[in-house]
Amino acid sequence: MPIDATLPYDDENIFAKILRGEIPSKKVYEDEWAYAFHDIAPQAPLHILVIPKGRYVSWDDFSAKASADEIAGFVRAVGTIARDHDLVEPGYRLLGNVGADGGQEVPHLHVHLFGGKPLGRMISA
Ligand code: AMP
């Protein structure tokens, strides 16, 4: 069910629980600013979710309120994960869903990283 991205942060959302280690995840990367894990329902041969450690509902929330260090750390983590998986030469796709029209279902900012095959020109509706 898509969320309202203007709602306050909910500490009981599933990615908050993953960050706290309360539910399992298949971790692929972690540093001071970001945590990354395999999507539970992959939509490409490689489908990783990258989330900031901070309490941000969406890209809107993050871009408005996160510090420069948090933003730089998160963006660098996404790039590092792609390089670590040798995705730069074949290429990959980043996707960030925001709010109801964006189809965002989990109210903790996440970037989808897709790779492992040609992904076509754009997502289908
Ligand atoms: P979005 O629609 O952008 O909010 O994407 C949420 C993503 O989270 C979906 O691709 C789900 O498959 C994924 N997801 C939901 N629960 C989990 C979980 N426990 N572990 C890993 N991925 C999850």
Per-residue pLDDT at 124 = 67
- Is the shortest distance between the CB of 58 and ligand 1 below 6 Å? no
How far from chain centre, in Å, is Cα 39? 9
Q: What's the 39 CA to ligand 1 centre distance in angstroms? A: 6
Known active-site residue 110? yes
The answer to whether 46 touches 87, Cβ cutoff 8 Å, is yes
Question: CA–CA separation, 63 vs 43, rounded Å?
Answer: 26
Q: For residue range 55-91, what is the model confidence (pLDDT) as tens digits? A: 999 999 999 999 999 999 999 999 999 999 999 999 9
Centre of ligand 1 from the C-alpha of residue 21, in Å:
16
| 14-100 CATH fold | HIT family, subunit A (3.30.428)
Give pLDDT tens digits along the chain (125 positions): 888 889 999 999 999 999 999 999 999 999 999 999 999 999 999 999 999 999 999 999 999 999 999 999 999 999 999 999 999 999 999 999 999 999 999 999 999 999 999 999 876 65
| Pocket probe mutation, ligand 1, options 1, 40, 58, max atoms within 8 Å of Cβ | 40
Domain residue ranges in the chain: 14-100
pLDDT value of residue 24 = 98
Is the pTM higher than 0.95? The answer reads: yes
Cα of 40 from ligand 1 centre, angstroms: 6
